[in-house]
Amino acid sequence: MSMCIKSDVSLLLRRLETAGYFVNYGLLGDGNFRPYDWEKMAGLLTGDFQELWRFFLLGGRLSSTRLRELLGGAAFDCLMELNVCQSRNREVTLGSLSLVSYRGNTFLVDRGNSPRAYFGDDTKALMTLLPKREQGQCLCLYSNSSVAMLPLASRSQIQITYACGPHNGELVEANLRLNNAGAAPRFQPRPAVRDSGKYDVIVAACPSTFEPPGIKMPAPIAAGRDGLKYLKELLAQGSRLLSAEGCLLTTFLYFSEADSQIMREQLARLIEPHGLGYRLVICSKHLMQPGVPVFNMLFGLATAGRADAAEATAKKMLKHVRTMKFEAAYLIKGKFLPAAASAPREIIDYSDTYYGSWTF
């Protein structure tokens, strides 16, 4: 795919700025992704402010004529050129997409259960790990990682390849345009054999959720019976694809026993055979019990649209947790480095002292 920049998309962003959209969004906190908060704020806004708020965050519908009036002709044309709107009966909507901002980047994210552009606390964690590079080859693996690449994308000598999707090409390109990307993205199904030693930065929010027998989890997070299918693949690819000075940045869930020492020993045994250096931070631990956030999240995704299957699903999940000794879910972020005698091999564990998310 190639990016064809037809007009200056900053016209759209400047129009939203002058219309107060970003000021109102900022009142809820940088990177807010809580539709409940957005609904509450919508009730406090009036007139043009409310119409733009509902359109860009909550899937509101407007006639093309009204949207053009609110944005102005140039900004309206910019929005249409991004190819992210849905049109029906002369009305326009962003559907499940929302325009948010975080740490100076503005981008579209998807509120759906299987999002085309994902954003969450793990995305924020990945963004904090990005190196300050001005040039190089970067690889974005898995569809949940694309938003995390945006701080690098705006640098003119950074080339990003997107692989192991499915990546939504139109959304990736729209977000790159919104952030003044320097180079057109490349898309390929998987890293090629010829890519060995090529990449200076690899960013990967790999799917890492277990799938109990008889339960199908959403594809962007599902990683087999033990949740390790893609993490194992990622470690093998990392050792092959990284340049001599490269780094692999990742976030993932890791399911293990509640005893954090046992967890650390298991994790080290998984990583060590690949020869990579690593510095991992175990950010938090959630017990795999009903009522605890991670369990509730996975249960909700497993039963989405199938309320009648809730009891049976809960029994299958709890049985799988007991069988696999998945007493806790550990939230992990970290950096892997090419094999070298001086490369660190560290696991920094906050799981027994901190309860929360990937970001502190």
DSSP-derived secondary structure for 145-179: GTGGGHHHHTSTEEEEEEESS---HHHHHHHHHHT
Query: In this structure, are 51 and 162 located in the same domain?
Result: no
- In this structure, the answer to whether residues 31 and 136 fall within a common structural domain is no
Q: Which residues of 112-131 are buried (b: 16+ CB within 10 A; e: fewer)?
A: eeebbbbbbbbbbbbbebbe
Residue 250: per-residue pLDDT: 97
Helix (H, G, I), strand (E, B) or coil at 246: strand
Same domain, 207 and 338: yes
Q: In terms of domains, do 96 and 116 share one?
A: no
Looking only at the bridges linking them, the beta strands covering 186-187 and 157-163 are parallel
Task: Say whether both 97 and 208 belong to one domain.
Answer: no
- Flag whether pLDDT at 171 surpasses 50: yes
d(CA 29, CA 147): 18
Answer whether residue 115 is part of any domain: yes
Query: Does some domain include residue 144?
Result: yes
For the domain that residue 241 is a member of, what is the CATH number? 3.40.50.150
Query: What tokens does 114 get?
Result: 């299987």
173/51 same-domain check: no
2 or 344, which is more confident?
Answer: 344
Q: What's the structural domain count of the chain?
A: 2
**pLDDT of 360 strictly over 70:** no
Average pLDDT over residues 128-147: 92
Q: In the listed set 69, 101, 133, which residue is the last one of a domain according to the structure?
A: 101
pLDDT value, residue 89: 85
Tell me the residue range of the domain where 152 lies: 108-349
pLDDT digits (tens, 9 = 90+) for 187-213: 999 888 788 889 999 999 999 999 999
Look at residues 353, 335, 357 and name the one whose alpha carbon lies nearest to residue 344: 335
Please give the average per-residue pLDDT across 315-333, as a whole number: 95
C-alpha distances in angstroms, 351 versus 108, 146, 209, 264, 338?
32, 27, 18, 11, 27
277 and 174 share a domain? yes
Query: Using CA atoms, how far apart are residues 85 and 93, in angstroms rounded to an integer?
Result: 6
Whether 76 and 122 share a structural domain: no
**pTM of whole model > 0.85?**
yes
41-70: per-residue pLDDT in tens?
999 999 999 999 999 999 999 999 999 999
The secondary structure element, H or E, covering residue 247 is strand 242-256
